[in-house]
Amino acid sequence: MSAQALATGFSDPVDGAQATFRAAMWALSRPGRVEVLDAGLAPPAPLIPEAAALALALCDYETPIWLDEALAAMPAVAEFLRFHTGATIVADPAEARFALIAEPMAMPDFAVFAQGTPEYPDASATLIVQVEHFTGGGLLLEGPGIEARASFGATPLPADFAARMTTNRALFPLGVDLLLAGSGGVAGLPRSVTVWEG
């Protein structure tokens, strides 16, 4: 096992996980609002500290994780996640409860991930998407958790991101939920949110 895999987790597993979860909880409760997330982790690249914190706070042996190509190409990332969470790393995105995406521009269609079933819409994937910056504009959000409307933006995101989110919204109550992590924060785009360009 490489030294990077043993890169430290939360300095306090109880408080670190709680603070990270609370940030994620408020992020999904108030779509588009960026919550501060400072986990102090140093995970192996290209995994960033914010995404690593979310994985460590939410994943364990019950939650298979799927890694996108960029993350899967670095064995240290899988080792780090296995060591700290005990989660299995799966190759089939449909089997994953959590998906970690380091290159949003190349992210697969949401349809490849578990969407839940009409009886159990909660049996769907949560996508942790790494972004570089939150721009605060470019997209308009509406839905539960948002008073009137909110503007939101993050880079990089694929050009057809709003269209993908619209397709995802049309499946409600099925669909995937997104946690966008980066630059010291996390923002949530649950399946209930309606996204426009603007």
Partner 1 sequence: MNTQAIGGMPEITYNFAYLDEQTKRMIRRAILKAIAIPGYQVPFAAREMPMPYGWGTGGVQVTAAVLGRDDVLKVIDQGADDTTNAVAIRGFFEKTAGVATTTSTTEATIIQTRHRVPETALGENQILVYQVPIPEPLRFLEPRETETRQLHALAEYGLMHVKLYEDIARHGHIATTYAYPVEVAGRYVMDPSPIPKFDNPKLDDCPALQLFGAGREKRIYAIPPHTKVRSLDFEDHPFRVQKFAKPCALCAATGVYLDEVILDDRGGRMFVCSDTDYCNTRQEAGHRGEMGVPAESASSDVMPGLNPGIHAVPPGHPVQGVDGRVKSGHDGVPVESGREGDAS
> Which residues would be at the binding site for partner 1 (CB under 8 A)?
13-15, 17-19, 21-22, 24-26, 28-30, 57-60, 62-63, 97, 117-122, 124, 126, 143-147, 172-173, 177, 190-192
Q: How far is the CB of 177 from partner 1 (least distance, A)?
A: 5
Three-class DSSP category at 125: coil
Look at residues 82, 189, 169 and name the one whose alpha carbon lies nearest to residue 128. Answer: 189
Task: Quote the strand ranges of 47-116, DSSP E.
Answer: 65-67, 89-90, 98-101
Q: How far is the CB of 190 from partner 1 (least distance, A)?
A: 4
Q: Return the number of the residue (4 or 20) whose C-beta is nearest partner 1.
A: 20
Look at residues 196, 192, 129, 190 and name the one whose alpha carbon lies nearest to residue 162. Answer: 196
Cis check for the bond before 156: say yes or no (omega within 30 of 0): yes
Q: Return the number of the residue (62 or 92) whose C-beta is nearest partner 1.
A: 62
Q: How far is the CB of 62 from partner 1 (least distance, A)?
A: 7
Dist. CA 62–CA 32, nearest whole Å: 28
Q: Return the number of the residue (72 or 88) whose C-beta is nearest partner 1.
A: 88
Q: Return the number of the residue (55 or 76) whose C-beta is nearest partner 1.
A: 55
Q: How far is the CB of 43 from partner 1 (least distance, A)?
A: 18
Q: Return the number of the residue (7 or 114) whose C-beta is nearest partner 1.
A: 114
Environment class of residue 40 by beta-carbon count within 10 Å: exposed (0-12), middle (13-18) or buried (19+)? exposed
Q: How far is the CB of 105 from partner 1 (least distance, A)?
A: 24
Q: Is the dihedral of CA 166, 170, 189, 158 positive or negative?
A: negative
